[in-house]
Structure 1
Amino acid sequence: MTSSNPPLHDLSVAALASALRERHVSALETAQHFLARAQQHQALGAYVALNEEATLAQARAADARIAAGTAGVLEGVPIAHKDIFVTRDFPTTAGSKMLVGYQSPFDATVVTQLAQAGAVTLGKLNCDEFAMGSANENSAVAPVGFDAPAPVRNPWNHDHVPGGSSGGSAVAVAARLAPAATGTDTGGSIRQPASFCGITGIKPTYGRASRYGMVAYASSLDQAGPMARSAEDCAILLSAMCGPDPDRDSTSLDMPAEDFSRSLNDSLDGLRIGIPKEFFGDGLASDVRAAVDAALREYEKLGAKLVPISLPRTELSIPVYYIIAPAEASSNLSRFDGVKFGHRANNFTDLEDMYKKTRAEGFGAEVKRRIMTGAYVLSHGYYDAYYLQAQKVRRMIANDFQNAFQDCDLIAGPVAPTVAWKIGEHGNDPLADYLADIFTLPASLAGLPGMSVPAGFGAGGMPVGLQLIGNYFAEARLLNAAHRLQQATDFHLRTPL
């Protein structure tokens, strides 16, 4: 590219894909540029694995397909994957000591689908251990360039957290270390770090994207989604990621892939946006509220109508989630016992002792906390009192949304009660992290699509995200609303570096 053009890392996914197809730049040159960026900004702790040889081989293959006229929609576009998706060419740790050194013999479905669209894998991105966390301070794996585990740092202020658990993904996109990244959202782990880092991220309807090859945390909640700078980019990526996978994921929905960018430019005239009163209570920081209110005023200018609604069981989403998710985690993580793969204790006297020592050594404090909580609520005498009741309330939360959608087309509000806090600020108080999920958990429990859209800046110049929630399969409508807001504002174009 000539010196008059913007640097490659400032191009959107859409612009980069176009430049590659038109052969203004090669996939090899693009991959080399982003690998250099990743090395240059190691201090952020975003990447946990790079494989330059594999990345450049994929880039050369992409160039060959472009030359042959068989390019996919994402041909040659670099992407990085949250280290919760298994990959053949890169190690997979899920941020845990338990999986250090593990190399998967296959790729996750999401990784495969993006590769089939032509995307080139840059590397694996840091995350909270087994996707359990709201700050990306729980990783037990050393980032690239580090000798020991370290928290991922928010590129807007290195003393602040990036959000979790997809913190590495959010940082890589925000700092322009990758044009886009995959993330996973169990209780808000795409939306919250997207908000904290000033990027766009979307969690589709549960079952839209295959969970095959995603290291499981809570199977009825985990969902993959893209993280990028704009709604347009997310629409392109989500179109490639979604689709049925019945042979390998029993929770995959039997719905064909679709073009989520088809209605990006539709008018918002008459769009009814529900404003839940429970999202705007005393716990919402004034700086976050100001940014969200300003975004809602933009929607009114675009022709949308704001409608007051109620989601009365919002507060109950925290206890419900922190019963159901740990219960499922205690089951899913039982496979990590030191027998077939992963970490195994060096010294033990018998099989039971090996189990105990392996799991004590391999799991971090937050993972142990959730396993113990989950085992407790599933135990005899407590299953009915806790787990069963939580499932009943979960259904009520889902019903609250359906009642609200009688009066509105989309729901809008804050992603989190505050902007990103300082690293270590919550210390040994896990409840503080849990409470930060109050606005993202309800949609996750209901299986609804939701996204975070940059909406401005709050205290200390830290980003604020606007959350948009749609009814089942309303991803295209969500992306349309987000795209129109981004046409009217420039928050998604601002960069910390």
Structure 2
Amino acid sequence: MTERLVPYRADRVTDGGVQPQDLTVDRRWFMSRMAGLWAAAASAGAAGGTLFAATPGSAAPVPTAAGRSGPGTPKDWWDGALARTIRPEALADPTELTISEAAAAFRRRLLKPVDLMAAYLDRINRYEARYQAFLWRRPDAELLDLARRTKIHSGSTALAGITTAEKDNYYTAGIPTTAMSPVYQGFVPAYDSTVHARLRTDGAIMIGKAAMGPLASGRARLPDGTATTYNAWTPDDIRYSPSGSSGGTATAVAGRLATSGTGTQTGGSITSPSNAQNLTGLKPTFGRTSLYGIVPLTITHDHPGPLARDAMDAAIMLQSVAGPDPNDPRTLGLPEVPNYIRAAEVYYWKKRIRVRWETTLGYPPDYLTGANEETRPLREAMLAAMQTVGVTVREVPYPQGWNELTGTVTSTSGEGTNLFLPVLQRDVRLFADRLTGFLNGQFRSADSYLKAMEARYILLKRTLDQFFGQCDVLLIGTAVDRIGLPMMAFPYGLGVDQTTGLTVPRGTTIAAPPFGEERLLAVVAAYQAVTDHHLRRPPDPSGPVAAGARVAAPYKVPADYDATEES
């Protein structure tokens, strides 16, 4: 396990005087900030321009893309990320190690980065032709050389020598970035995205670019609709979706082809694949992580974030990439980046595992009543486990007009159309099965878009006042994507897929007020310290598959496939 003993402090409300950031942020300020951003987006659309161009290579590289305004993550924060104990079974198979465990193993000279890399390459060479998690990979010899040249010392970050898979909409200098779409076919950026640059600066080694839904929509598929990437939990049956446009990253991490990875979320594509593949995914507050150098879908609620194996790993990834970026004005003027790693450390009170800050977890009325026979006992058990670590659990009613405010009235379909309008005008064939969605946005009136912005503001206000006026964190779906609030997904059990009859993970998602990432991490860390769902490993494919071999009959994504909740 990865627990770290934290001394008890008498004032548990503020953890010795350190409050979680969600208690220090003025919510009215956040509402004003988001309203200003939405207004700017609407003005840019009305003027026929955009704040950030979507045309491949249209933005000029800025040398400071990797820069931070401060000194970066302090050394003692990284030290707090090291696992106190390392599971013996994970040492026996290094692909089982979490980031925290691998970093501790490196420091204790139990493992070298090249050993970790060799273990992953062994699995990749045996199984990647089945998983199809990657669109592009570095050659084995290059990866081994990068790992061999990684030196671990007392000042190393927790990411030094750690393997990652990055979604193929993250710019990587000199490496193809296609967003799995003909729109970006052959595109090789001249510079790194800020997120990739920061991970690389902290020592992470990117194995490759992960498959994704075309232009961040739905599951990974070819232009003709043929599905490609398998869910790691059903490696012999492609029908069960890896879920969301970040599904390739999820498959790579869940299938033990990489230790951790990056995704983007516009309508569920970090939380959805995390739930579908037994991972812990974190979608930060809008603006907490930079969108510079990432193929856009919208400019008002795209979110970069990590897909990891547990709360500590998600904290380590976020600690590396969060913070202001001069290339993305959406990241500027925000509260300072706090110590996420400390928030994810397991907290003890009188030798018992407890949530770090006194926290009320709310759930809407239909969270239990609307669950089916399989998921209801899983959800009830999850809530009971939360109570054992000191979380107060209560039902909270939906805010007034919730169904109307979370429906199509707040949709931002026109944003993607506006971003890609020059490409649409040049050749609509490049959008393949995404064309209908982009054309629909073109027919949306300015009046309806402005009404959507107004509805989104009302939704944000009522969520903060009526939901988060009664609880600190909330079990909720993707509605809060549209209003920029942080979300975290985590597994709570296993179930049976009705289509394939196979065992698959079940998970849930919690949200918090603005800049509530610490609170989310603390709650999930406490829950994972008393449960083992996140440690479960999917079955391997039935056997090795030769590279390039056809492993199953082509599976066509249904024509009526709705990607709106998997974007």
Q: What SS class does the counterpart of residue 374 from structure 2 fall into?
A: helix
Q: Which runs of 5+ in 2 are unaligned?
A: 1-85, 348-353, 498-502, 540-567
Distance of aligned partners of 1:219 and 1:372 in 2 relative to their CA distance in 1, 3 Å threshold: same
Shift of the alpha carbon at 1:375?
A: 0.9
| 1:218 equivalenced with 2:298 (yes/no) | yes
Per-residue deviation at 1:231? 0.6
| 1:249 and 2:328 matched | yes
Residue number in structure 2 paired with 1:9:
95
Report deviation, 1:451: 0.9
Q: Is the 8 Å Cα contact of residues 170 and 197 (structure 1) preserved in structure 2?
A: yes
Q: Structure 2 residue aligned with 1:122, among 204, 207, 215?
A: 207
Q: Would you say 1:152 and 2:232 are equivalent positions?
A: no
1:186-265 aligned at under 5 Å gives the runs: 186-245=266-325, 247-254=326-333, 255-264=335-344, 265=346
Q: 1:167 aligns with which of 233, 241, 247?
A: 247
Shift of 1:281: 5.7
Partner of residue 311 from structure 1, selected from 371, 375, 398: 398
The answer for the alignment partner of 1:84 in structure 2 is: 169
Equivalent residue number for residue 483 of structure 2: 446
Change (3 A) 1:486 1:195: same
* Secondary structure of residue in 1 paired with 2:144: helix
Distance in 1, matches of 2:273 and 2:407, equals: 18
How large is the RMSD of aligned CA atoms in angstroms? 2.3
Measured against aligned partners, the alpha-carbon deviations of 1:14-70 in whole angstroms (never above 9, x if no partner) come to: 01112123332222232232123223222111111101254334323323xx26x55
Q: Provide the rounded CA distance (Å) in 2 between the counterparts of 1:471 and 1:22.
A: 39
Shift in Å, 1:310: 2.5
Match of 1:392 in 2: 454
**Which amino acid is the alignment partner of residue 151 of structure 1?**
T
Supply the distance in 1 between the matched residues of 2:119 and 2:485 (Cα, whole angstroms).
37
3-state SS of 1:121 partner: strand
TM-score by length of structure 1 reads 0.82
| Partner SS, residue 129 of structure 1 | coil
Q: Deviations over 1:179-218 (max 9, x none)?
A: 1010111111100110011111000000000000110001
Decide whether the 8 Å contact of 1:204 with 1:224 is kept in 2.
yes
Which residue of the partner structure matches residue 34 of structure 2? none
Distance 2:112 2:194 in 1: 26
**Which residue of the partner structure matches residue 113 of structure 2?**
27
SS at structure 2 position matched to 1:458: strand
Q: Check 1:252–1:34 CA distance in 2 against 1; reply closer, same or farther (3 A cut).
A: same
Distance in 1, Cα, partners of 2:288 & 2:276: 25
CA contact (8 A) 2:260 2:309 kept: yes
Between stretches 391-400 and 107-116, larger displacement belongs to 391-400
Alpha-carbon distance change, 410 to 127 in structure 1, aligned in 2, over 3 angstroms = same
Secondary structure at the counterpart of residue 462 of structure 1: strand
Separation in structure 2 between the aligned mates of residue 485 and residue 308 of structure 1, nearest angstrom: 19
Could you tell me which amino acid in structure 1 is paired with residue 327 of structure 2? R
Match of 2:439 in 1: 372
Following superposition, the deviation at residue 287 of structure 1 comes to 2.1
Contact 2:93 2:119 in 1 (8 A): no
Aligned residues: 431
Query: 4+ runs of 1 displaced by more than 4 Å?
Result: 1-4, 278-282
Counterpart residue type for residue 242 of structure 2: P
Matched, 1:38 2:124: yes
CA deviation digits over 1:358-384, x for unaligned, max 9?
Answer: 331x1121x21221111111xxxx321
Q: Deviations over 1:126-178 (max 9, x none)?
A: 11011112xx144549xxxxxx9642211222331111111011111111111
CA contact under 8 A between 1:132 and 1:138: conserved in structure 2? no
Alpha-carbon separation, structure 1, partners of 2:342 and 2:155: 22
Matched, 1:496 2:559: no
Query: Shift of the alpha carbon at 1:91?
Result: 1.1
Q: What SS does the aligned partner of 2:519 have?
A: helix
Please tell me whether the aligned partners of residues 38 and 47 of structure 1 are also in contact (alpha carbons under 8 angstroms): no
Once residues 321 and 390 of structure 2 are traced to their aligned partners in structure 1, the CA distance between those partners, rounded to angstroms, is: 31
Q: Is the 8 A contact 2:221 2:229 kept in 1?
A: no
Distance 1:26 1:140, change over 3 A: farther
**Residue aligning to 1:332:** 419
What is the distance in 2 between the residues matched to 1:4 and 1:446? 39
Q: Which piece of structure 1 moves more, 105-114 or 95-104?
A: 95-104
The separation in 2 between residues aligned to 1:329 and 1:183, in whole angstroms, is 18
Is the 1:278–1:311 contact (alpha carbons within 8 Å) kept by the matching residues of 2? no
Bigger mean CA deviation after superposition, 121-130 or 304-313: 304-313
Residue segments in structure 1 that go unaligned for 5+ positions in a row: 142-147, 338-351, 414-438
Partner SS for 1:131: coil
Q: Tell me which residue corresponds to 2:428.
A: 359
1:410 lines up with 2:495 in the alignment: no
Q: CA deviation at 1:289?
A: 3.1
1:27, 1:220 → 2: CA distance? Answer: 38
Q: Which has the higher contact order (CA 8 A, sep 6+)?
A: 2
- Give per-residue Cα distances to partners, 1:207-232, cap 9 Å, x unaligned: 00000011000110101111111011
Secondary structure of 2:420's aligned partner: helix
Residue among 262, 266, 277 paired with 2:365: 277
CA contact (8 A) 2:90 2:97 kept: no
Kindly indicate whether the alpha-carbon contact (under 8 Å) linking 2:159 and 2:203 is maintained by their aligned counterparts in 1.
yes
Q: 1:383 aligns with which of 435, 440, 446?
A: 446
1:257-280 per-position Cα deviation (integer Å, ceiling 9, x unaligned): 332021333433742111122545
Secondary structure of the 2:330 match is coil
Indicate conservation of the 8 Å contact 1:292/1:465, yes or no: no
1:476-495 correspondence to structure 2 within 5 Å = 476-495=518-537
Match for 2:462: what amino acid? D
Q: What is the letter of the counterpart of residue 359 of structure 1?
A: V
Letter in 2 for 1:218: T
CA 212–488 in structure 1, closer or farther in 2 if over 3 Å, else same: same
Q: Is residue 105 of structure 1 aligned with residue 190 of structure 2?
A: yes
Identity of aligned residues (%): 29
